[in-house]
Chains A and B, each alone.
Chain A
Amino acid sequence: SQKIEQNSEALNIQEGKTATLTCNYTNYSPAYLQWYRQDPGRGPVFLLLIRENEKEKRKERLKVTFDTTLKQSLFHITASQPADSATYLCAPLNRDDKIIFGKGTRLHILP
């Protein structure tokens, strides 16, 4: 069955450093991959989308990579700030629009 794996443990990063979150998927080949941010008590909010033919996508301090050979996406936050603390969800997307969300990784940026 299709499966998505994100870091199950919370990630603690010192302020100013780069945070790197991992999303691995198995048993399917998504055409696109989305990343969402979720704050406590709130719904997920879309951040970035990357296509299968794109190696890298950037938006301000955010960078996403997509390696279809490794079946992996990496999500980087550079110059991290305490306000970046949240849960981050990856969501691979098939061409038939089937979206499956990962369980998310909790990120804590320590001041």
Chain B
Amino acid sequence: NAGVTQTPKFQVLKTGQSMTLQCAQDMNHNSMYWYRQDPGMGLRLIYYSASEGTTDKGEVPNGYNVSRLNKREFSLRLESAAPSQTSVYFCASRVDRVGLQPQHFGDGTRLSIL
């Protein structure tokens, strides 16, 4: 079982470059999430998609855009990368937005902005 797959695993960008982080899940989950994890800050929600066709802002959405391409795929785009966006990005999925089911996480994309 693949679960949640994120690509790429590592990326280095220059300030001002753009990039799309890809996420796909094979568990038929309705809800998908993007987090960033920084030392001393914990996981912070960037955007989420409660179901196919909907997206909503999380705690730290500035500088990012998302696309829920279909039920399986949820991408995160940095239009003009800034050094403050250096982080580890995690995608997660969940059966539904509400309920007791846990989130399933990918193994992250490590992004450095120079």
On A, residues with C-beta under 8 Å from B are 32, 34, 36, 41-46, 49, 51, 89, 95-97, 99, 101-104
Contacts and interface: CB of A to CB of B under 8 A. Distances in A.
Interface size grouping (class) on chain B: 20 to 34
Interface in B3-53: 4, 35, 40-43, 45
A41 B108 CA distance: 8
A43 B100 contact: no
Contacts of B41: 103
Given A43-B4, A97-B97, A103 B42 contact: yes
Contact of B108 (A36, A43, A51, A104): A43
B102 A101 contact: no
B102 A49 contact: yes
A34 B43 CA distance: 14
B105 A45 contact: yes
A10 B2 CA distance: 32
Contact of A46 (B98, B99, B102, B108): B102
B71 interface: no
B61 interface: no
Given A32-B100, A49-B100, A97-B97, A43 B42 contact: no
Secondary structure of the A side of the interface? loop
Contact of A101 (B4, B42, B104): B42
Contacts of A102: 42
Contacts of B98: 95-97
A111 B40 CA distance: 27
Contacts of A43: 4, 90, 92, 105-108
20 contacts: A32-B100, A34-B102, A42-B107, A42-B108, A43-B4, A43-B92, A43-B106, A43-B107, A43-B108, A45-B105, A89-B42, A89-B43, A95-B98, A96-B98, A97-B97, A97-B98, A97-B99, A99-B45, A101-B42, A101-B43
